[in-house]
Amino acid sequence: MFSVLSSYLVALKNSNPWLLLLWHVLLHRRSKREIRKYSDQEAVDRLYHNFSGRYPDIENPVLFSEKQQWLKLKYRDDLMPICADKLEVRRFLRVRGYANHLNEIIAVYDNIDEFNIDILPNRFVLKATHGSGWNLVCKDKLKINWFVWRKIMKCWLKSNIFWEGREWPYKDITPRIICEKYLEDEHGQLIDYKFFCFNGKPRFIQANQGRGTSRHAQNFFDLKWRILPFGKGLIPKPEIKIPQPKNLAQMISIAKSLSVDFSFVRVDLYEVMSEVFIGELTFFPASGMPDFVPEKYDEIVGEMWTLPENNKR
C-alpha cells in the first residue's frame, strides 16, 4: 500500500514543476535537520521501517534489501563514489575502453548562473551528477518553464541525497549538472535496460518502456529474454511486450565487464539505432528498500548475492 501511494505521489510531483520545486525545497530543509539528528544506523533503520513496517537485519542479512543496507553501513570502496558520480564515471569508463559507448556531453554547469538556454539545442537532457532521479528530459525547450526549472536545478546543486538513506558514495560528490545529447530510438522513445549484477555476473534485466505514459511497463527478464514472474516497485505487465534489444549479447558482455569490481551493481544501458550507450552504474536501486513483488523475491534475489568478506576494499 505504501509503495502504491508513494508511486502515485512521485508521479504527481514529477508532472508539475511547481510541486517538484516545493518538494526539493522541503527535502533540502529536512535533510539539513535530519543529518544532524540521526546516526547512519538510525537513518537506515527509520527509512526501512517507514517503508516496510519492520527493521532490517544488518548483522545477519539474508534479503536483498537487507544486504543493501549492510553495504551502506559496513562497506567502503573508493571506486564506488567515482562510479556513482555521473561525470567522473566517464573517466572510469574511458579507461575501461568504453569511450565509444558514452553519450555526448553538451555542457557542464557548476553554478546555475552558467546555464544559458539560448545556446542549447532544442532537445537535450539535464542530469545532476550527484543525484538520483534529478533529471530533465527536454524534448522542446520552448515548452519548458525555465523560470521554475532554474530554481529546481539550483536546489539540486545545494542538496545531497546522502542524508535520507545514507548512500555513502554520494556524500562527497561535487554537485554539478551535465547537459547531454537527447537520445531516442526508432520508435520515438528510449527503453532503458538495467542489468542486475552480483559478484561480477549479470543475473537478470529490468526493462522500462513508455515512462511517463499510461502504457508504462517495467518488466524483468532473464539473460535469454524470458520474462520473469516478479516486479520491483511496480507490478509487472507481461501483456505489454518489451522487445529484446538487438545487441543483447553485447550488453551482457558490457555489464559483466563493468561489474567485476563490485559485489553488486546495476549497469544501466540504452540501445539507440543499433548502438549501445552506457547510462550509469547504480549501487542502491530505490535506496535498497524491500520493494520486490511478490515479496518473496527479496529473499530469492538475496541468495544470488555473496557479500564481501571484508568491510573495506
The reported pLDDT for the residue numbered 309 is 82
pLDDT in tens, 105-162: 999 999 999 999 999 999 999 999 999 989 999 999 999 999 999 999 999 999 999 9
CATH at 133: 3.30.470
For residue 57, pLDDT beyond 50: yes
For residue 2, pLDDT beyond 80: no
Q: Is residue 99 part of a domain?
A: yes
pLDDT in tens, 87-96: 999 999 999 9
Considering its fold, how many domains does the chain have in total? 1
217 beta partners: 209
For residue 13, pLDDT beyond 70: no
Average pLDDT over residues 243-267: 97
Confidence band for 313, pLDDT divided at 50, 70 and 90 = low
Q: Is residue 312 part of a domain?
A: no
Q: Is residue 310 part of a domain?
A: no
The reported pLDDT for the residue numbered 216 is 82
Q: Is residue 183 part of a domain?
A: yes
Across the chain, what does the average pLDDT equal?
A: 93
Q: Is residue 179 part of a domain?
A: yes
Q: Is residue 31 part of a domain?
A: yes
Range of the structural domain that residue 92 is part of:
2-55+63-302
pLDDT in tens, 178-231: 999 999 988 788 989 999 999 999 999 999 987 766 678 899 999 999 999 999
Average pLDDT over residues 55-81: 97
Q: Is residue 100 part of a domain?
A: yes
Q: Is residue 70 part of a domain?
A: yes
